[in-house]
Amino acid sequence: MVFFRWIIGVPIAALITAGLFMIMAGLIQKPIIEVDPAKPNPDLDIFMKPIPPEGPRTKPIKEEVPKAPQTEIEFKKPSKNPGGTQTGPAPTPATTKGPVIPTQFPTPIIRMEPPYPEGCRAKAIEGNVLVQFDVTAEGNVVNVRVIEAPDRCFNRIVSTVSKWKYPPAYQDGRPVKRYGVVERFTFQLTG
């Protein structure tokens, strides 16, 4: 049976291969095209030509752009969170006009209260937690670290504080980074 396949298969394969080579040779052959040598190559100028002036130029009229109205911003202390946490002393409410650095640190624009860590709740640990962090010029919280806590189980609140967003602080009209911001959280078990 195998011998029969070889006897019939090899000649058929050879015929198909030879036919394909002949088709490819026919496709490769090009008809001879005569080029008219009398046509000169087009002259291309790649350099920009100077534009002649169109009379005396006048200075463009400087439009007066109206300044955006300055709004009053009031920084308020957030209310207690029903989740069992509250913040420590908040900045004194201040009304500012224009870009200035407030003497007290403003309330974050985006603020999620850290939940009571389950490990601490299971151990019935209560107390104050001090968290220190830096705020970038864009208002993002970075370098969050717990500097004082009754137990290591409170270190889990770092991930929540790092999601906060503050309004940018300005100095001489430029946004600046703020270092060493401290927040206090009081964790007490209720009921």
Q: Where are the beta strands (DSSP E) in 33-140?
A: 73-74, 85-87, 95-96, 127-135
Torsion angle in degrees (nearest 10) through CA of 124, 130, 133, 138: 80
Q: In 67-101, which positions are buried (b, 16+ CB within 10 angstroms) versus exposed (e)?
A: eeeeeeeebeeeeebeebbbbeeeeeeeeeeeeee
Q: pTM score, two decimals? A: 0.45
Domain tally, the chain: 1
Whether residue 106 lies inside any domain: the answer is yes
In which domain, by residue range, is 168 found?
A: 73-187
- Token reading at 133: 């962090």
Whether residue 124 lies inside any domain: the answer is yes
Whether residue 148 lies inside any domain: the answer is yes
Partner residues linked to 133 by β-bridges: 181
Helix (H) or strand (E) holding 159: helix 158-161
Task: Kindly tell me the burial class for residue 114, based on how many C-beta atoms sit within 10 Å of its own C-beta (0-12, 13-18, 19 or more).
Answer: buried
The gap from C-alpha 6 to its chain's centroid, in whole angstroms, comes to: 66
Whether residue 165 lies inside any domain: the answer is yes
Whether residue 24 lies inside any domain: the answer is no
Distance CA 133, CA 135 (A): 7
Q: What CATH number did the domain enclosing 156 receive?
A: 3.30.2420.10
Tens of pLDDT, residue by residue, the chain (191 residues)? 778 788 888 999 999 999 999 998 888 876 666 666 666 777 777 776 776 666 555 555 555 555 545 444 443 344 444 444 434 443 333 333 334 444 456 778 888 889 988 888 899 999 999 999 999 989 999 999 999 999 999 998 999 999 999 988 888 888 889 898 899 989 888 86
- Token reading at 92: 């004194």
Helix (H) or strand (E) holding 119: helix 118-122
Whether residue 118 lies inside any domain: the answer is yes
Whether residue 113 lies inside any domain: the answer is yes
Whether residue 34 lies inside any domain: the answer is no
